[in-house]
């Protein structure tokens, strides 16, 4: 398994197979209804407050779909 920080780290073949090939890619629409709530969800898991991060993970763990591990 390989991990990438961005698409620029992939070879052209890897990029085609994982992202660009229309036969295999999935496009999702994301709507931001409440910007403040979105900011909270984006920053909470990566913040420096370990206790808050742990609570966030525990509170939301059962709602996760399509987890990339």
pLDDT digits (tens, 9 = 90+) for 36-49: 877 776 665 666 77
Inter-residue contact 44 to 32 (CB < 8 Å): no
Inter-residue contact 57 to 64 (CB < 8 Å): no
pLDDT digits (tens, 9 = 90+) for 22-32: 998 888 887 87
Q: Average pLDDT over the chain, rounded to whole?
A: 80
3-class secondary-structure state, position 53 = helix
Tokens (6 digits) for 16: 């085609």
Looking at per-residue pLDDT, the higher value among 43 and 61 belongs to: 61
Per-residue pLDDT at 60 exceeds 80: yes
Q: Rounded to 5 degrees, what angle do the CA atoms 53, 49, 58 make?
A: 15
Inter-residue contact 45 to 57 (CB < 8 Å): yes
Inter-residue contact 45 to 56 (CB < 8 Å): yes
């Amino acid at each position: 398994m390989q991990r990438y920080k961005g698409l620029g780290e992939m070879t052209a073949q890897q990029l085609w197979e994982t992202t660009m090939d229309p036969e295999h890619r999935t496009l999702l629409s994301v709507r931001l209804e409440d910007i403040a709530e979105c900011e909270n969800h984006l920053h909470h898991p990566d913040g420096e407050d370990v206790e808050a991060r742990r609570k966030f993970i525990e509170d939301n763990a059962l709602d996760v779909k399509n987890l990339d591990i």
